[in-house]
Structure 1
Amino acid sequence: MKSLFSGSMAVAVAPPLEKPARSETMWAQTSRRLKKSNTAVFGLVVVVFLVLVAIFADVIAPYSPTANNPNATFEAPSSKHLLGTDQLGRDMMSRIVHGSRVSLTIGLSSVVLAIFVGVPLGVIAGFYGGKFDTLIMRAMDVILSFPVILLAIIIMVMFTPTDGFWGIVKVTGAVAIVRVPIYARLVRGSVLSIKEKEYIEACRALGQRDPLVLIRHILPNCLAPIIVAGTLSVATAIIVEASLSFLGVGVQPPTPSWGWDLKANVAWIQESPWLALCPGFAIFITVLSFNLFGDGLRDALDPRLK
């Protein structure tokens, strides 16, 4: 407190008020924590790189991924063909680059589709309970009772294998179906916990309808676990897609697929090891990157770290 003297009269001057510090939002805290994790940042950088490769595959690939050249079969890596050519003379780099588009499209699309189906089922089961909960959760238990790959194979053999766009759509649907229970069970558990909070009871006491309570108060609090599960599920979806293609029931040739290229070239691994190693490494680095980023995101969103 300062005083200004003018004659015998003193006037007290209060110090300037300091602005209250802004509270950091959850997403700002998550971003700050995520930047501290070197492995998560590495995973994110690789994921962004792979997405860009998939988007600009037509520009990056030096040749058509489906163009055969009988005069250039089993060529070793060179300046003309950076990753060599396969038994049909197709450029392996072009197939790997275009294969990233297929794998990421199926991986991301199947996860989004599984979330759009699984989240509403989990919300209904957790919020309303009773017969809805019993019916939905028992159906999810039936799906979970099958091994993931086996169930995906069963779904795929119900349809005629095709290449191109519809082949990708069928694989995406099969992978999405086997991932739906993950989100249904996850969201159900979150809703069961959140709906008992006092502010939810207050909303109901004020006469807010159930859809409004779900959209404004319950679903936003379920976003963090859904995002983490979705990131990790992309890696699983890519493995499932590659496995289906490797077994011959996934994306059909000549559509470029890492799993199919691995299957087609594993027989030549002694004579031309790069033909099998390239698609295998592409699967490995993609799955690893999504897992590293997903693990870092989970740690950053963990409320115990607050």
Structure 2
Amino acid sequence: MTVIIDDTTAQNTPPTSGAEPEATASSVRETVRWAARNWGLVLSTAIFVLAVLWALLPGAFTSFDPIAVDNGRKLLPPSGEHWFGTDLLGRDMYARVVYGARASLLGASMAVAVAVIVGSVLGAVAGWFGGFVDTVVMRLIDVVLSVPGFLLAITIVVVYTAKVGQAGLIPAAIAVGLTSAATFARLIRSEVLTVRASNYVEAAITSGATTFTVLRRHVVPNSLAPTVSLIAVQLGIAIIWIASLSFLGLGAQPPNPEWGLLVSDGRQFIATRGWLTLYPALTIIAVVLATNNIARHLTTRSSR
């Protein structure tokens, strides 16, 4: 009896031994080319990720305690042991910059979250109901936008501090968020006006869904996409404003480190020991420029 072996499958199966390495190498080359073309975005992303890691895992980047006082190491210049030098109380400045990222980024993130929530509510209400409600909300937004945002944030914090008796990071973040909400409200309102006329919103209304349900499930979620790049821009602005409020004594309070507070602490020695203000200031500049560059790329990509 003759046994016939069908080797068609084996003949038609292409060899794959070298295909995967070639595909991997091609992917690596494309990634390298993309990184070379967009080196600014890569650098900005790396800086921002580093700042986030400082905020989340500061102990992984320094072994020094940012609060511990060491009278024997006062005002030491930058060295191999103390990369950013030491301050008036002998505390390692690099450790204080690293640990200060938590307060700065946390305050800025809280401010942006408040701005998005409040702005989304105001914009959704104005765009959905229209008429008198829209007029009142938009005039209120116009009044807020007519006042310099940072001046308004200072006013809110000062009033709060006068009543409570002590400033803090959370009140500063809320104040910055409230002053930034108007920008988000205008953007959300324009998106709601577009989404409101869509077929799926009309179908939801016809099916008997309540106004709150339609806004929560359909209108607001579909109106938030354009705010992604604005969130990145506002995050950079919030970092500057939080640092500025701390510099003025209206934000984070000592001994806890915060970038603006570190600049304030070192300003009396700026002529003789400039590292006390230089490194925290450069950190603020680098992170803000990184977030702005990321926001610019997000805006460019979304407009295509």
Mapping of residues 102-117 of structure 1, within 5 Å? 102-117=103-118
**In structure 2, what is the Cα distance between the partners aligned to 1:216 and 1:41?**
35
Task: Give me the whole-angstrom Cα distance separating, in 2, the residues matched to 1:63 and 1:202.
Answer: 60
Distance (whole Å) between structure 1 residues aligned to residue 255 and residue 142 of structure 2: 37
Contact kept, 8 Å, 2:167 with 2:251, in 1: the verdict is no
Equivalent residue, structure 2, for 1:232:
233
Partner of 2:169: 168
List structure 1 runs of 4+ shifted beyond 4 angstroms: 34-37, 205-208
Aligned CA distance change for structure 1 residues 292 and 112 (closer, same or farther; 3 Å): same
Q: CA offsets, 1:249-305, max 9 Å, x none?
A: 221211211112112212322322211110000100110111111111111112xx2
Q: Calculate percent identity across the aligned residue pairs.
A: 37
* Partner AA of 2:55 in structure 1: A
Distance apart, 1:242 and its partner CA: 1.0
Code of the aligned partner of 2:72: N
**Is the Cα–Cα contact under 8 Å of residues 158 and 250 in structure 2 kept in the other structure?**
yes
Q: Which runs of no fewer than 5 residues in structure 1 stay unpaired?
A: 1-31
**For each residue in 1:184-240, what CA deviation from the matched residue of structure 2 results, as whole angstroms up to 9, or x when unmatched?**
111011112232345544554454443343344333332221211111110000000
Q: Which residue does 1:81 correspond to in 2? A: 82
- Written as runs of structure 1 = structure 2, the 5 A alignment for 1:116-265 is 116-160=117-161, 167-265=168-266
Quote the residue 1:22 is aligned against.
none
| Matched AA of 2:218 | H
Q: Match for 1:149: what amino acid? A: F
Note the C-alpha offset of 1:178. Answer: 0.9
Instruction: Give runs of aligned pairs for residues 26-65 of structure 1, distance below 5 A.
Output: 37-65=38-66
Distance in 2 of aligned mates of 1:245 and 1:176:
15
Could you tell me whether the CA contact under 8 Å between 2:116 and 2:184 is conserved in 1? yes
- Residue 81 of structure 2 aligns with an amino acid whose one-letter code is K
Letter in 2 for 1:249: L
The CA distance in 2 between the partners of 1:65 and 1:176, in whole Å, is 28
Determine the C-alpha separation between the residues in 2 that align with 1:298 and 1:37: 15
Structure 1 residue identity aligned to 2:255: P
Q: TM-score with structure 2 length normalisation?
A: 0.81
Structure 2 Cα separation of the partners of residues 186 and 129 of structure 1 = 15
Distance 1:202 1:91 in 2: 62
Bigger mean CA deviation after superposition, 85-94 or 206-215 = 206-215
Change (3 A) 1:213 1:40: farther
CA contact (8 A) 1:152 1:174 kept: yes
Quick one: structure 1 residues 38 and 82, their matched pair in 2 at CA, closer, same or farther if it must change by over 3 Å?
closer
Task: Write the distance in 1 (CA, Å) between the matches of 2:149 and 2:62.
Answer: 33
Give the secondary structure class of the aligned counterpart of 1:160: helix
Shift of 1:169: 1.3
Write out per-residue CA displacement over residues 26-53 of structure 1, whole angstroms, 9 at most, x where no aligned residue: xxxxxx9x98744333322321221111
* AA matched with 1:234: L
CA distance in 1, matches of 2:249, 2:168: 12
In 2, are the aligned partners of 1:40 and 1:295 still within 8 Å (CA)? no
State whether residues 167 and 250 of structure 2, in contact with CA within 8 Å, keep that contact through their aligned partners in structure 1: no
Gaps of 5+ in 2: 1-30
Write the distance in 2 (CA, Å) between the matches of 1:82 and 1:38.
Answer: 27
The answer to whether the 8 Å contact 1:239/1:287 transfers is yes
